[in-house]
């Protein structure tokens, strides 16, 4: 992974564009479109509260009539969420010059299911699954009598597994946030991810599948209405005095300065780089843990910034959070729910414990899809708004990530 230099950061800021033409670096309240769910109690009230506190024009509100579930069918997403938002933007911002960001409010679903299969597609999938089952039985019979043939059968089964994943469209699951960012984009494939032209490493890259008209997307959401209101208040009031506390970074290994092609080693080094960036900024004290074990209960008081890994779906109560804290945990299930009271996923519990902003995936994203921590925190400590930090560090759209927090929040304003 590349190390951030002051020049790279300056280029990231000056080149950050919204829509087809360049905009001023600072994300403004009048560029924010707020989307609420009429069907969900408190959603519209919270939207109006946020808009009043941020001086967002009242006409920048879209009220939807959609499910109060955290998961929405693909067809319902298009009809109940994407279509009304697209209609509003087509009428009020046809050339893409007005709006730069969408904020999804408490009560908007988190996750979009794959499209329903047609009868023909279902029949094809059933055939592939039967062939896979038959091949599995054949492999078991060959294990003892003919190991070489058994190996060939396992290889064939692996290929069938790939075909089944394509046929059942399981790779078309995405966060609502990552899809609504492309609501004004021309039709695009739903399978897998699309590269983000905002992402630092993709600048200047030409790719036919790279979306051009993209709206930054964040959500003001959480387990309860009171938590969302607290996030709004904490973000605005922290800006006035600046975020203070300690930055905690939890890597798994010491950084020996060695280059590696593995995503795991590269991401671990990126966490080290994030710690160096924040320490060099002089904004606050930095604590870097480079042991395999995560921070344990009581070891991270007054946490203002955090990035670490890996505790799958199980928050570790090591932190007391400073007001306005920003942080995220790298694991595959950390934003699968914000409402399930029994869940211990990191995004949900971090919000309950007091953070103002976090991010995570709604299902398995693969490690390379997580925002780059050294880019995210470098932009943050250099005064960028939260939504911009996410855009510059997030590599993909039409995928699994969700940013929770006020996109206008500038903790180091």
pLDDT at 8: 45
Q: What is the Cα–Cα distance from 376 to 390, expressed in whole angstroms?
A: 6
User: What pLDDT score was predicted for residue 126?
Assistant: 80
Q: Which neighbouring-strand residues pair with 104? A: 35, 219
pLDDT, tens only, 212-263: 999 999 999 999 999 999 999 999 999 999 999 999 999 999 998 877 778 8
Contacts of residue 88, Cβ cutoff 8 Å, sequence gap at least 6: 33, 62
Give just the sign of the alpha carbon dihedral 43, 45, 50, 51.
positive
Instruction: Compute the distance between CA of residue 411 and CA of residue 373 in angstroms, rounded to an integer.
Output: 16
21-22/17-18 β-pairing: antiparallel
Q: What is the pLDDT of residue 42?
A: 96
Instruction: Kindly report, residue by residue over 120-145, the tens digit of the pLDDT.
Output: 877 887 888 888 888 888 888 888 78
Query: What tens digit of pLDDT does each residue of 304-326 get?
Result: 999 999 999 999 999 999 999 99
Backbone angles phi, psi at 298, to 5 degrees: 85, -5
What pLDDT is recorded for position 133? Answer: 87
Cβ-contact 397, 182 below 8 angstroms: yes
Q: Does residue 55 have a pLDDT over 80?
A: yes
Place of tokens 């995560």: 294
Of the listed ranges 45-49, 90-94, 276-280, 291-295, the one predicted with least confidence: 291-295
Give the residue ranges of DSSP H helices in 106-224: 119-145, 147-167, 176-180
Average pLDDT over residues 75-97: 97
Which pLDDT band holds residue 25 (cuts at 50, 70, 90)? low
Q: With the C-alpha atoms ordered 47, 50, 54, 58, is the resulting torsion angle positive or negative? A: positive
Question: Above 80 in pLDDT, residue 404?
Answer: yes
Decide: helix, strand or coil at residue 305. Answer: strand
The gap between the terminal CA atoms of the chain, to the nearest Å, is: 28
| Residue 31 predicted with pLDDT over 60 | yes
Helix (H) or strand (E) holding 94: none
Q: Alpha-carbon distance 389 to 371, whole Å? A: 9
Handedness of CA 279, 328, 212, 82 (dihedral sign): negative
Supply φ then ψ for residue 402, to 5 degrees.
Answer: -135, 130
* pLDDT value of residue 5: 47
Phi, psi (5° rounding) for residue 37?
-110, 110
Per-residue pLDDT at 20:
33
- Please name the residues in contact with 105: beta carbons below 8 A apart, sequence gap of 6 or more: 34, 35, 36, 37, 43, 44, 46, 47, 50, 219, 220, 221, 228
The CATH class, in words, for 13-115+173-216 is alpha beta
Asked if residues 62 and 84 have their Cβ atoms less than 8 Å apart, the reply is yes
């Amino acid at each position: 992974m590349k190390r951030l230099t002051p020049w790279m950061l300056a280029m990231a800021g000056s080149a950050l564009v919204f829509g087809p033409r360049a905009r001023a670096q600072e994300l403004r309240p009048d560029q924010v479109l707020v989307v609420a769910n009429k069907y969900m109690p408190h959603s519209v009230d919270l939207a109006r509260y946020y808009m009043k506190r941020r001086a967002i024009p009242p006409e920048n509100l879209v009220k939807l009539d959609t499910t109060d579930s955290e998961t929405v069918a693909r067809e319902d997403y298009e009809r109940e969420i994407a279509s009304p938002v697209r209609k509003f933007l087509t009428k009020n911002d046809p050339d893409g010059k007005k709006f730069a960001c969408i904020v999804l409010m408490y009560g908007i679903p988190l996750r979009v299911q794959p499209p329903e299969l047609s009868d023909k597609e279902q029949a094809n999938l059933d055939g592939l699954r039967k062939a896979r089952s038959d091949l599995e039985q054949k492999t078991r019979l060959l294990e003892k009598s003919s190991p070489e043939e058994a190996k060939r059968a396992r290889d064939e089964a692996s290929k069938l597994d790939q075909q089944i994943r394509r046929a059942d469209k399981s790779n078309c699951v995405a966060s609502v946030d990552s899809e609504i960012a492309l609501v004004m984009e021309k039709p695009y494939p739903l399978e897998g991810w699309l590269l983000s032209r905002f992402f630092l490493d993709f600048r200047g890259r030409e790719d036919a599948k790279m979306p051009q008209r993209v709206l930054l997307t964040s959500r003001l959401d959480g387990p309860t209405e009171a938590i969302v209101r607290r996030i709004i208040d904490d973000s605005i009031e922290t800006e006035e005095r600046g975020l203070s506390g300690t930055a905690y970074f939890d890597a798994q290994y010491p950084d020996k300065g060695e280059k590696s092609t593995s995503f795991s080693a590269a991401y671990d080094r990126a966490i080290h780089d994030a710690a160096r960036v924040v320490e060099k900024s002089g904004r606050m004290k930095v604590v870097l843990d480079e042991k395999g074990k995560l921070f344990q209960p009581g070891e991270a008081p007054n946490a203002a910034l955090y990035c670490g890994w890996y505790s799958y779906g199980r928050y570790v109560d090591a932190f007391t959070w400073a007001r306005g804290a920003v942080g995220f945990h790298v694991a595959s299930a950390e934003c699968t729910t914000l409402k399930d009271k029994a869940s211990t996923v990191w995004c949900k519990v971090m919000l309950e414990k007091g953070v103002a902003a976090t991010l995570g995936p709604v299902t398995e994203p693969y490690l390379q899809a997580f925002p780059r921590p050294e880019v995210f925190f470098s932009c943050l400590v250099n005064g960028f708004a939260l939504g911009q930090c996410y855009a510059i560090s997030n590599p993909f759209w039409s995928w699994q990530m969700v940013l929770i927090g006020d996109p206008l929040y500038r903790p180091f304003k």
